[in-house]
Structure 1
Amino acid sequence: MNTSLVNQSIPVPTPYYLLDEAAIVANMQVIARLCELSGAKALLALKCFATWGVFEAMQPYLHGTTSSSLNEVRLGFETFGKGKDDTNNKETHAYSVAYSADEIPEVLKYADKIIFNSLSQLNAFKEQVAAQNTPVGLRLNPNTSNSSFIIADPARPFSRLGESDKDKISEVLSDITGVMIHNNCENDSFEAFSESLADIEARFGDILQQLDWVSLGGGIHFIAPDYPLEQLAARLREFGETYGVQVYLEPGEASIHGAGTLVTTVLDVMTNEKNLAVVDSSIEAHMLDLLIYRESAPISAINHQVVSIAALAVSPIDNDPADNGSRDDNSADNTIIYGRSCLAGDIFGEYALADTLKVGDQVAFANAAGYTMVKKNWFNGVNMPAIVIRRLDGSIDIQREFDYSEYKASLS
């Protein structure tokens, strides 16, 4: 965390997302190092992070973008790829769980590679794609994964995410040049990744030998300080050389980890057995993954002063009064921070704070870049957070503010 980032007063009302380009570039340098050692290419996963106002700082370190929809592939092309500068060599990969027929012509305008999720989609559109000479990929699902969350597990029962029948995949090898395998989610274990890759090699190695490229997707938390980056690089290089393929990675969270906060202001304080505070933001509207994954947000700053306060292990998001497992003797002094929406479970977390929060205090929540800004919404008509960027030179850009007209326009 850049202390000058949180100690600096920002001339925009809360709530706002605050992105730190220096922190992003620090992540970029790790990714570039991994690519240098391994020979892999790295594509920004726009499904995780698509705030194009910082793409200029990311562009020197990445090889392009990968997408999950027509809108994302167009955004990647226009803001990161050839649409921005016809002379650059950035790649724009297109993937979707399902394309509609009318989307294909436009996708092909932007894509350097198009990846189909299923054999039926591949067969439906392969002739149209072949006419444009665009390389084609297929999503391969190995039916195994490294995911702690069933909602995010591509190998969950009855998964629609990719094909796993080796015989059927073999029948279309003449129609594809590569495969995409995305079966990691917040996986911080090199050993687990390597074992999973070995399993894929054992079952699909003869298919991999016939390809030009393999994308291993994202969800590998190699950005962690203690992650054995050199071992990962060696494993990726060995994989690429064994099968004669260009390896791609699709870092999302790894690209922007620790680089974003959501800054809020306390609007009200109450007491109901514990201290309660209501801020001018909402997890359902502005940090939706907290609700989806039943997690809490760490606090990174209070009143512009750097702190590091994790939410307690037992959170009121899933409170069981009979379970006192992680509560301490002073739990009545803890503070629960709520969002301002009408959802009863709109809870950022429960915290043991040195001082009781007061109306007007500013609270900044960490981990507010990946899978947050791409999911923000207008639930309850709560004010949409502005987007603020602290540039590499220390200057502050108010990248975007939102108002009532945009709330109204989002409806009908």
Structure 2
Amino acid sequence: MTTSLAHQSISVPTPYYLLDEAAIVANMQIIARLCELSGAKALLALKCFATWGVFEVMQPYLHGTTSSSLNELRLGYETFGHNSQHNNIDTTETLDGIEPLKSADKKEMHAYSVAYSADEIPEVLQYADKIIFNSISQLTAFKEQAAAKNIPVGLRLNPKTSNSSFIIADPARPFSRLGEHDKDSIVAVLKDITGVMIHNNCENDSYQAFSDSLADIEAKFGDIFQQLEWVSLGGGIHFIAPDYPLEQLAQRLKGFSEKYGLQVYLEPGEASIHGAGTLVTSVLDTMYNQKNLAIVDSSIEAHMLDLLIYRESAPIAAINNQLIHIAALDIDPTDNAQTMEQAAADNTIIYGRSCLAGDIFGEYQLPAVLQIGDQLAFANAAGYTMVKKNWFNGVNMPAIVIRRLDGTIDVQREFDYQEYKASLS
């Protein structure tokens, strides 16, 4: 998706994250359409994106949030829930024919954690509308407290298959701790739960792969589903792609729901904010070492950590406020020096400013050699990015800037030395 994230000059020192509410709403409309056609409910996955400064435009289209910790749950409750400040939004108007949810609709807060500590449970139950346990042992330990508060209980299931290209993100990896897979053990605790959560997709853009995977899940757990009230199929389904068969997905979900008499939940994270955020940086220095080198005032380890984790590169969305989509070349920065030298000598490698040797945004074929002071905006800087930002090397934390629906610019948050200092002790 191409957005207008960098079409105007913004008088904020770099680096900063720039979020575009119009691009977020475009994603919201696709999600709302899917829910409308399928009967599914959509919960924002806070583990992926939790910048609550834009929740006001997201809340009318989503049914709530899902969390992976007590802190995320509380954040969702306070900033997205039924009692949050955003429930006064006027949703009487539709956008592109998509009917927003009624502002009076109570938002659901789903609580999940790989492992809860005993002292967290009382507070979790203050905020949760459903609590999902990762294991039967956690379910056994805390189910009575949930029952005492009339909080519906769920259990995570692991079908031992997944759609994930990365072993680090694969919930079905060998010896996985993410959910229960033994059917007999699950059946034994059915009286204690009302639903289940199955999350086994990661950036899956294939409808057929999703449908085949769901068929496999049905074969394994179909008779269990018939005894439940709801199932969450998690996130990681890239249904916002322009060529994704959205109606076909909706019919598949609707048929699944009707077959088992279940309320289906989806947990869109990346799908909620894809294409809606950039990381805007400035070139601090340039060098030449068999290739053009540029060093910007940001860092992938500190500000776009998934690039480092998954050995990926960031596409460039704009140069000096001029929109220009430049994908990084398919060169693994971990390859040996001889392999890297085989690429064109006039390519540009863009480095972060941290001391990590592999702090590399990517290698690019640019229309011109970069100069000190040039401004670069890297795309896809919202999902699994802002939630992971850190103070590595004491590199300046990016400000958070929001382009509102009316085009105005809000500097939502800036960070300073005192916050760096306070984060350490």
TM-score (norm 2): 0.94
Partner of 1:344: 357
SS in 2 for 1:336: strand
How far apart are 1:322 and its partner, in Å?
4.8
For residues 58-106 of structure 1, the C-alpha deviation after alignment (integer angstroms, 9 at most, x for no partner) is 0110000000000000000000012316854110000000000000000
Partner of 1:68: 68
Partner of 1:358: 371
Work out the CA distance in 1 between the residues paired with 2:139 and 2:412: 39
Partner of 1:124: 141
Partner of 1:387: 400
Unpaired segments ≥5 residues, structure 2: 88-103
Letter in 1 for 2:23: A
Work out the CA distance in 2 between the residues paired with 1:342 and 1:324: 20
Partner of 1:29: 29
Partner of 1:398: 411
Work out the CA distance in 2 between the residues paired with 1:320 and 1:188: 31
Identify the match of residue 283 of structure 2 among 244, 259, 266. 266
Structure 1 307/2 Cα, relative in aligned 2: closer, same or farther at 3 Å?
same
Asked whether the 8 Å contact 2:3–2:276 carries over to 1, the reply is no
CA-based RMSD of the aligned residues comes to 1.3
Partner of 2:94: none
Identify the match of residue 334 of structure 2 among 291, 315, 318. 318
Asked whether the 8 Å contact 1:49–1:252 carries over to 2, the reply is yes
SS in 1 for 2:421: helix
Asked whether the 8 Å contact 1:186–1:220 carries over to 2, the reply is yes
How far apart are 1:2 and its partner, in Å?
6.2
Letter in 1 for 2:233: L
Letter in 1 for 2:383: G
SS in 1 for 2:259: helix
Show the 5 A alignment for 1:11-410: 11-84=11-84, 87-315=104-332, 317-323=333-339, 331-410=344-423
Work out the CA distance in 2 between the residues paired with 1:362 and 1:410: 29
Work out the CA distance in 1 between the residues paired with 2:112 and 2:208: 28
For residues 233-256 of structure 1, the C-alpha deviation after alignment (integer angstroms, 9 at most, x for no partner) is 000000000000000000000000
Asked whether the 8 Å contact 1:284–1:291 carries over to 2, the reply is yes
Question: How many residue pairs align between the two structures?
Answer: 408
Asked whether the 8 Å contact 1:300–1:309 carries over to 2, the reply is yes
Work out the CA distance in 2 between the residues paired with 1:324 and 1:357: 20
Asked whether the 8 Å contact 1:40–1:248 carries over to 2, the reply is yes
How far apart are 1:133 and its partner, in Å?
0.4
SS in 1 for 2:205: coil
How far apart are 1:324 and its partner, in Å?
7.2
Work out the CA distance in 1 between the residues paired with 2:358 and 2:336: 14
How far apart are 1:321 and its partner, in Å?
4.1
Letter in 2 for 1:41: K
Letter in 2 for 1:280: D
Unpaired segments ≥5 residues, structure 1: none
SS in 2 for 1:254: helix
SS in 1 for 2:119: helix
Asked whether the 8 Å contact 1:146–1:185 carries over to 2, the reply is yes
TM-score (norm 1): 0.97
Work out the CA distance in 2 between the residues paired with 1:79 and 1:2: 29
SS in 1 for 2:203: coil
Asked whether the 8 Å contact 1:81–1:88 carries over to 2, the reply is no
For residues 178-235 of structure 1, the C-alpha deviation after alignment (integer angstroms, 9 at most, x for no partner) is 0000000000000000000000101110001000000000000001000000010000
> Percent of pairs identical after alignment?
81
Asked whether the 8 Å contact 1:45–1:65 carries over to 2, the reply is yes
Structure 1 242/183 Cα, relative in aligned 2: closer, same or farther at 3 Å?
same
How far apart are 1:305 and its partner, in Å?
0.3
Work out the CA distance in 2 between the residues paired with 1:11 and 1:213: 48
